[in-house]
Structure 1
Amino acid sequence: MNCITWHEAMAFCVWDGGRLPTEAEWSYAAVGGDEERSYPWGDTADEDRAVFGCYGYTEASGRPCTIADLLPVGSRSIGDEATSGDGKWGQADLAGSLWEWTLDGYSDEYPISSQRCDLCDNCANLTAGSERVMRGGGFDDDIENLTTSHRLPGKPAERYYGLGARCARDR
């Protein structure tokens, strides 16, 4: 889904038996745990592993890039581990496609390294604030915005056409 508010994303995940991931959880999955990858698939930017840069858009169409240019979810999950855009544990589209809401409130500094994620208790930034964390980069971004460390603030009551969510589940 795209164009959903943070509140709608939270409600959907609860309805679906999950929850929004914390920023630490999202980051841990994206960097491959202790591998600390720059991209979910590794450390090298690879245009064939993510949906970005308005992939599907052609200048000949004479129109600006829109959500209609977005390729289907998982379209870069083709091939084996050496060629797909999936993360270490098989998550698709952690880089590109849509930005994703996380549970956390936004602060300028990301407070914890993903290597330390397993050592923290209540790692989410649940302080009241006017913005929430968005991660992953979107279909209309440049590849530089798809790194696992890139993050942005978003107003939880607003809708963004390039923003969606993924739900997390406890084991």
Structure 2
Amino acid sequence: MLLYRQENRLNAVEAFGFMLIALFLSSGVIVACGPMLTPEEPLPGDTRSRSADGMMMVYIPGGTFYMGYSDAEIEEVLYQCGTGLYCTSGVRRALENSIRHLVTLDGFWVDQTQVTNGQYTCCVDDERCEASAFTNNPLYADWGNYPAVGVSWYDAVDYCTWIGGRLPTEAEWEYAAQGSREYSGTWAIFYDTQPVVISEWVFDWYGPYPSRNQKNPTGPTRGAWKVLRGRNWEFLSQPRSPVYRGRYATPSSKMDTIGFRCVVDQ
């Protein structure tokens, strides 16, 4: 009798197993061994449009690069700058805080232009951003396409959060702006294509660079000033270099010389 019950139990298990197999096959699901398919890796310089504000973004591949100046480069920049007090004190101090070191970054998408007045207004209308300190200027017929200025670091963070991104780190900004060294086409999106020349907010607090190598650095944990990258129309005498980091401002500052762009992680 015990053997009979065991056989019946085994038969029931086998029948249940066959039923599951039949149900699985009838669903049309096919299992195959092998690597999982992943989305195609974007190529350096690929572009895509962002749905939130229509901004075109450029893909910057991950990699390792030298951030900052070597001693020889510092002396060369100072020689080109001249012997005035501005060069021998302010510029020298900025350069000496920019010790050359290796940085490794993951890939990311960066805005092809600085965020415009028109795009920023959409965030204000959506009640996600504070209004700019500078309203529509009737002197400029194309005001909506000019870079948004008069926005604080906090305003820039709010905007980048609104579009699903963030402010670039200082390392990401410099890496992308060094595009002419690493891969073609990126330098142009940071210079010479804007209606006015303005500096840009980045994520980091201002402080001397560390001498050690870094991976995806985000700068000091605290500070008094946020880093500004790029020259602006008020300080065109500053070195025209993607490496130079001579300016900074308190995060609440709203100036007509400061704008921003966003990045989106890969």
TM-score above 0.5, yes or no = yes
CA-atom RMSD, angstroms? 2.8
Aligned to 1:102, which of 184, 190, 202?
202
**Considering only CA atoms, is the larger Rg found in Structure 1 or Structure 2?**
2
For the residues of structure 1 that align with 2:211 and 2:164, how far apart are their CA atoms? 27
> 4+ residue stretches of structure 1 with deviation over 6 A?
none
Displacement, 1:91? 5.4
| CA 1:89–1:98: 2 relative to 1, 3 Å | same
Structure 2: tracts of 5 or more residues without a match: 1-147
Corresponding position of 1:164: 259
| CA 1:9–1:91: 2 relative to 1, 3 Å | farther
Displacement, 1:93? 3.1
Worse-superposed segment, 144-153 or 128-137 = 144-153
Corresponding position of 1:136: 230
Displacement, 1:139? 2.4
Displacement, 1:165? 0.4
Deviations, residues 33-69 of structure 1 (Å, cap 9, x unaligned): 8x279xxxxxxxxxxxxxxxxxxxxxxxxxxxxxxxx
Corresponding position of 2:173: 26
For the residues of structure 1 that align with 2:173 and 2:230, how far apart are their CA atoms? 9
Displacement, 1:32? 1.8
What secondary structure sits across from 2:175 in the alignment? Answer: helix
Aligned to 2:189, which of 92, 101, 115?
92
With the length of structure 2 as denominator, give the TM-score of the two structures. Answer: 0.39
Judging by fraction of residues, say which structure has more strand. 2
User: Aligned pairs, how many?
Assistant: 115
Which one scores higher on RCO, CA 8 angstroms, separation ≥ 6? 1
